[in-house]
Amino acid sequence: MRESTPVLTMQIHTFADFWPYYVRQHSQPRTRMLHAIGSVLAVVMVGMAFAVNLWFLLAAPLVGYSFAWYAHFFVEHNRPATFGHPFYSLAADYRMLFLMMAGRMDEEVMKHAVAAN
């Protein structure tokens, strides 16, 4: 009979608990770039909704998540954090985007990769 591997569960109660997990789930630069593209396009869709037509509000999450989920399934090969923590994940997406724009996301990845080992 085959022994089952114990499942590790994380206790996430705050955004501060979630952030290191989120960063480790986005370790590949290509994953982060695809997330950034989706996040920026989602903001553009929201802007277009108010400038052109409110139907663009429906496109915002579809566009944003399509880039992110593609990155998780085909680049990172992990499960999107949105499935377990949707609100923390959305906040973390934009925190990551701002850190990328400031040129500080790579050091954040290094910090949390070292902490995990």
The count of domains in the chain is 1
Q: Is residue 5 part of a domain?
A: no
Domain-embedded: residue 38: yes
Residue 42 lies in a domain: yes
- 90 within a domain of the structure (yes/no): yes
pTM: 0.84
Phi, psi angle pair for 15, to nearest 5°: -65, -35
Per the domain annotation, does 69 fall within a domain? yes
Structural domain harbouring 109: 28-116
Q: Both tokens of residue 44? A: 């553009």
Q: Could you report the per-residue pLDDT of 21-59, keeping only the tens digit for each?
A: 999 999 999 999 999 999 999 999 999 999 999 999 999
Domain membership of residue 16 (yes or no) is no
1 falls within a domain: no
CB neighbours (10 Å) of residue 117?
4
Residue 3: Cβ-neighbour burial (10 angstroms; 0-12, 13-18, 19+): exposed
In a domain, 65, yes or no: yes
Q: Are 67 and 35 in contact (CB under 8 A)?
A: yes
| pLDDT one-digit tens code per residue, 63-76 | 999 999 999 999 99
Radius of gyration of the chain (CA): 16
